Structure 1
Amino acid sequence: MTLPVRDLRTCFVGDSFTAGVGDSTALGWTGRVSAAAIREGARQGYAFTGYNLGIRRDTSQDIAARIVAETTPRLSPAEDARVVLAFGVNDTTLAGHGHPQVSAEQTLQALRSIQRQMPATGLFFVGPPAIDNEEQNERIAVLDTHLSGLCRELDIPHVSSFSSTVSNPLWRQQVREGDGAHPDAGGYEILAGLIIPPLLAWLSQGSTDRG
């Protein structure tokens, strides 16, 4: 029996990690996730289309400001429209005044704003990974905890990547040998491996029961 095919379109909206900066294969984690979703869709009865909307140095506030304009033309024809959000590292980068570019409370406000702006779109959140700066990693860890708590409060499915990346020797090595923030292909394989299982489970849910 042939399953009906559901038109499932997903925008990956985030920063340089979403864009896949540093990956010599040009796949990043979004390319790997999309490939897995296409294979899973063939089994589950949905046709997956992914759009990478990652921009280098974007903060949560930048993403909240552009998300509707950039996702609407890509998702409006879809039977099932989804958005995967990924941000946080740039928020914790120190600005000229010695404080993070975006405070933790402002980051949380940006996530709340995105959910308010997109009430009919399923959201999934990917937490920020570790980099090669221990002081900033401390700030990322705190922000990751706050973001995970807010995702639970808002009923947004999410995956935290910080604890797994900060303790992974390959991730840390590739980031250190790269630009201090982004890994090469092996690191993105690690990140994709964290994201794929929960994300595919979420995508496999129908548009009326996705959470």
Structure 2
Amino acid sequence: MHIVPTSPAPAPDARIRIIALGDELLAGVGDARALGWLGRAVASEQGARSRIDLFTAALPGETSAQLADRWDADVQRRFSTPGQADGSVDHRVVLAMGRADIEAGISLARSRLNLAKILDGLERLRIPVFVVGPPPSRDAGLTTAVRELSSAFEDVCSRRRIPYIDTVDGLVGHDQWESDLARSPGDHPGQTGYGLMAWLVLHGGFGSWLGTSS
């Protein structure tokens, strides 16, 4: 990636450019309002000035290995080099980690390594990152595996002091979440579920990370 990491600090009125990478839940699949959790979270932080621009690159069923292969190119395509140079664009990356590693048979150690490679690459580029973990499934057995995967992701982020939202513990057993999944033709949320995910993100420091709220 050809982004110079020694750019000046963004101006106080710089536009915030969020580059978001993840699986189908990042795109809000199944949401009648087509907002997903990220759209809701960003809308909540926009305010009257509307400083946030959102560029989403979601791929259905993506594993951490596939994300590790593509993140660099996809961030580069959405990066403003002139905005970096003059401080008018404050770049941020949101990673929405999915649970496809489980079905693909990827070990927890490899999942950890894949995420670590991405985070270390973004650190070298001095791009702040916010990570959201995979939510629970309607299948209790799969949810157990998702919890283990999410814990592995959280540990990788914790070691680097990167914010991480564990959606499993926040949503498993939640009546509204489970009833929302039960109504879904797939194992994904609808409007209510995405709203709950957005609530977890917003109450997990999303605004502080963006610098839009305390």
Q: TM-score range by the shorter chain?
A: 0.7 to 0.9
TM-score (norm 1): 0.85
1:208 corresponding residue in structure 2: none
Query: Partner amino acid for 1:116?
Result: D
1:62 corresponding residue in structure 2: 66
2:121 corresponding residue in structure 1: 117
Q: Within 2, Cα distance between the matches of 1:185 and 1:116?
A: 34
1:147 corresponding residue in structure 2: 153
Q: Within 2, Cα distance between the matches of 1:192 and 1:10?
A: 16
Displacement of 1:7: 2.1
- 3-state SS, counterpart of residue 13 of structure 1: strand
1:15-164 alignment, distance < 5 Å: 15-39=23-47, 42=49, 47-77=51-81, 78=83, 79-93=89-103, 95=104, 100=105, 102-118=106-122, 119=124, 120-164=126-170
Residue 5, structure 1, aligned to residue 17, structure 2: no
What percentage of aligned pairs have identical amino acids? 28
2:86 corresponding residue in structure 1: none
**Post-superposition, which runs of at least 4 consecutive aligned residues in structure 1 deviate over 6 A?**
none
Displacement of 1:4: 4.0
Q: 1:26-82 CA deviation, whole Å, 9 max, x = no partner?
A: 11111111212212x83xxx8211112121101111111111111112123443211
Q: Within 2, Cα distance between the matches of 1:180 and 1:173?
A: 13
- 3-state SS, counterpart of residue 154 of structure 2: helix
Tell me which moved more, 21-30 or 84-93: 84-93
Query: Partner amino acid for 1:23?
Result: D
8 Å contact kept, 2:21–2:57: yes
Query: Partner amino acid for 1:59?
Result: T
Q: Within 2, Cα distance between the matches of 1:148 and 1:30?
A: 19
> Please, which of 198, 201, 210 is the counterpart of residue 203 of structure 1?
210
8 Å contact kept, 1:10–1:75: no
Displacement of 1:88: 3.3
Q: Within 2, Cα distance between the matches of 1:62 and 1:37?
A: 30
RMSD: 1.8
> Structure 1, unaligned stretches of length 5 or more?
206-211
- 3-state SS, counterpart of residue 124 of structure 1: strand
> Structure 2, unaligned stretches of length 5 or more?
1-10, 84-88
Residues 180 and 188 of structure 1: is their aligned pair in 2 closer, same or farther, counting only changes over 3 Å? same
8 Å contact kept, 1:131–1:180: no
Q: Within 1, Cα distance between the matches of 2:64 and 2:14?
A: 30
Aligned residues: 193
